[in-house]
Every structure is written in C-alpha cells, then in structure tokens.
Structure 1
C-alpha cells in the first residue's frame, strides 16, 4: 500500500466512514449517544488499521442490528430489558469490540502498519493476533445471531447444562435454530475476512487456498463462542421467573422463583468472558493450522 495513501487518505476514510455509521446508528436507535461515540472511535480505529478488520466489525454490527429489530413485539414480551431497536450503550459497544480493538492496535504497532497474511512460519505472534480478532467477531456475531433467531424459534429452549426445557429468555437456554444460527454467524465473519484479504493483500499462490480454512475455523468459533456464552449464562448468571411481571428476569427477589445460575456475572460480563475465551482458543487454532 502506498505510504502517502496510508498517511493521508486512509485516516480520512476512517473518520468519515466511522462518523457516518455512528450517526446513522444513533438516528436509527441502534446505538445510544454514548454508544455512538464509542462506536465512532472503534470503527474509525478498525478502518485505519486494516480493511479486513473493519469488514468483520461492519458485518457483525449491521447483521446483528438487523436481526435485533426482527420480531420486536415478540421479544418485548420475553425480555424485561427490551429496548426498541436493541439500542446499545458504550458499555455494550466496548464489551463487544474492546478486546479486538486492543489486538488490532497491537498488530498495527508490530507490523508498522503493513498487512500480513495468516502464516505462523513468518510470524507466529502476528498470526495469533489476527486469529484472535477473527475469533472475537465470530463469537460476537454467532452469539447475537443465536440469541436473536433462537428467541423467535417455535422450539422451546433447553438449558445447556441439563437439557431440561426452560422458559424463553432464560440465560443458557439453547435451541437447534439458535445453534445453527451461531455457526452461520461465525461463517459470515470468516467469509468477510477472506474476501477482504484476497482483494487487499497478495498472499502468494501457495497460501491462497490455505486462507480458505479461515471459513471453517470461523464457523467453529461462532458455534463454540455461543456455547461458551450459554454455559456461562446457565451457571454464573442468574435467571428467575417473576410472578408479577410474568417474565424471566436476571436478578433475584421476593416474587422471583429461581430457574438457574448464580448472581456472579451480568450479561455484559458473560459476553466479555465468552469473547475472551473464544479469542484465545481461535488464536491458538490459527497458530497450529497456519
């Protein structure tokens, strides 16, 4: 990539696109004001450092936001913390992008702003970091697709730890549709990475076919990340049924009958931990495969 382009054009593109997306998301109520500010920073950072990373973030954000808005009337009856448009604040934005942001900054510093293919023989650390970013967004997208599609499924969810039927909205409840959606969500992230890598980086003919392995890795990361999230939700996140509100809630109380889990982690913490674990596991997998 030409140095003058990197120095002037790419930062301008990053700020312009980041501003547009943040403004649009705020207007459509996908992000709160604080979420839009955090989203602007994260998106601009990703675009500035590498289009591959921005592509994964964009695919996650737009597909997840679209799915969140599907079936809102049904979701309102199930989710006690339902917000129109699935509006996310800065905490939710950073819990779904903070780790990846740290990793892409580390990549930028280590590579001097240059793009590298996945190839552990040349640089194990760079391969591990790129794999971590892929795993991060596969987990985010897979878990969101799983939750948003699973809750609209006609199937009754089963608690992942006992396989007993539970009410919709119970943390750790899974459905077949939700698990398939998680795998699909991960595969879409992998595909977006591969397409941008092929169009922006010359990896060499001996490595091109191997880069396609990112897609099955991403599919596994999407499914695995969703399963990790469900296991954490079923064990370390409280779920109970409120007899007054007639809904599944996330905090204990006098009118609430416990369904599962302990009051150790909230939803943002569960997301963060599952993303962290999936990031590490995908990073290790890429080291062995590439």
Structure 2
C-alpha cells in the first residue's frame, strides 16, 4: 500500500499524530488509510484502464501521504505544544476531507454511467478530474461520515464538532472537485490523443491543455483539505 518513500513519510506523520493525540490519533488516521487503500484495490480489474489516465497508482508515495496526512500531523504537533479543541477539529476535518475525496474517487469510478464534468456539464471519461457522479458524491459523504463518527467516539467530541467534521470534510471533497476541474493539470498525448494527468505518455512529452503544470493531484488534495480545515475553524470560531 506504500512505496518506500511513502512508508518513511507515514512514520513521520504517525509520530506527529502520536505526540498530540496518542493512539487515538493513529486509529483515526488508520481508519482513513486502511479504508481508502482497500477501496483502491477493490475491483481492480475494472479500474485497470485508469492507470493510463492517472499520474499515480494505488501505491502511495511520500507526496500522497503528506498531501493527505500533513495537516493532521501539524494538528498533532499543535495540540502537543498548545492543547485546544481546534486541533481536534483540524484533525477530523482534514482526514474526513481526504477520506471523502478518496471514497468518491474510488467508488465513483465504478458507476455504470460516465461522470459529468462540472466545467461544461457534459459526460466525460471515467476517472476525469473535476467530474462528478451520484454514486461518487454519496460515497464521498459516507467517507466523511465515517471519520466524523470515529473521531467523535474516540475523543468524545460534542455533537456540534461532529457535524462540523462531517460537513466540512464533505465540503473539502467538493473543493477538490472544483480545483480538479479548473486548476489541475491535464494533458493530451501527442500519439494516442488520450486526456491524461501525467506529462509523459507513450514515451513522449504530452501537451498541456488545462490548468497549471505545477498543480497536480497531490497539490489539489492538500489545498482542498487545508481550505476545508481553515473554513471549518473560521466558522467554528464564528459560532
């Protein structure tokens, strides 16, 4: 489930979580990691065609671990030095957002009908960033719900915090979809004409047709989780 670099980063992220949240923080992170990793392996034969489109596969490297767990690790460090309920909220929202996005992607690709792009509301190829389906959206909500439930039970959070984690975790998935549709890099292969996320295809440099070359899937994941956490903390303080 992890590359060597991903394993090293996972140890660092886990250490930061343990400092602040103890074994409970590891359980929340483990809930995300195990569930999302198993889903990425599920029905792999049907998902095999997506390898040609996506930049990375189901084995997570250091960048993917940092993009999905970096904010949770920072929350662990913050609660170690300065205990506050906001750290628990940041932990929950960041992992709920990551889980929501992963569940939406992994289960949404199994939908019988192609997803709809939020840019032009036309059906596009399965696995295209910035596209949604009913099944994927529902899966995203359930992914956020799982982390919200686990976080609330483990840390005995209030009902208010539960709904904040649930809502802003799901909202993070929606932000990810918007960023994927408008800002994430998309290329066209010069040889086969396939729309892809990676800059090299068919042993040749592809042509950038959308977004920015430095905004890739890991970048989008990190920005969307960070945005969801900041919005959640802002509205929580407002209430």
TM-score with structure 1 length normalisation?
A: 0.73
1:55 maps onto 2:27 in alignment:
yes
Rounded to whole Å, the distance in 2 between the matches of 1:34 and 1:224 is: 30
Q: How big is the shift at 1:257?
A: 8.2
Q: 1:280 aligns with which of 221, 227, 230?
A: 230
Rounded to whole Å, the distance in 2 between the matches of 1:102 and 1:262 is: 27
Whether contact under 8 Å (1:238, 1:250) holds in the other structure is yes
Count of residues paired in the alignment: 234
Whether contact under 8 Å (1:78, 1:247) holds in the other structure is no
Change (3 A) 1:262 1:45: closer
TM-score with structure 2 length normalisation?
A: 0.87
Q: 1:192 aligns with which of 122, 131, 150?
A: 150
Rounded to whole Å, the distance in 1 between the matches of 2:145 and 2:160 is: 11
What is the RMSD of the two structures over their aligned residues, measured on CA atoms? 2.5
Rounded to whole Å, the distance in 2 between the matches of 1:83 and 1:234 is: 18
Q: How big is the shift at 1:67?
A: 0.4
Whether contact under 8 Å (2:20, 2:78) holds in the other structure is no
1:50-72 Cα distance to aligned partner (Å, 9 max, x none): 14422221111111011010121
State which structure, 1 or 2, has the greater radius of gyration over its C-alpha atoms.
1
Aligned to 1:183: 141
Aligned to 2:86: 128
Change (3 A) 1:176 1:46: same
Change (3 A) 1:246 1:73: farther
Rounded to whole Å, the distance in 1 between the matches of 2:226 and 2:213 is: 20
Rounded to whole Å, the distance in 1 between the matches of 2:220 and 2:81 is: 30
Change (3 A) 1:260 1:150: farther
Aligned to 2:47: 75
Change (3 A) 1:264 1:40: closer
Rounded to whole Å, the distance in 2 between the matches of 1:248 and 1:79 is: 12
Change (3 A) 1:83 1:128: closer
Rounded to whole Å, the distance in 2 between the matches of 1:255 and 1:61 is: 33
Aligned to 1:6: none
- Structure 2 unaligned runs (5+)? none
Residue 195 of structure 2: SS of its match in structure 1?
A: strand
Q: How big is the shift at 1:258?
A: 7.4
Aligned to 1:205: none
Rounded to whole Å, the distance in 1 between the matches of 2:122 and 2:208 is: 14
- Structure 1 unaligned runs (5+)? 1-29, 112-125, 199-207
Aligned to 1:39: 10
Rounded to whole Å, the distance in 1 between the matches of 2:36 and 2:66 is: 15
Aligned to 2:64: 92
Aligned to 1:249: 196
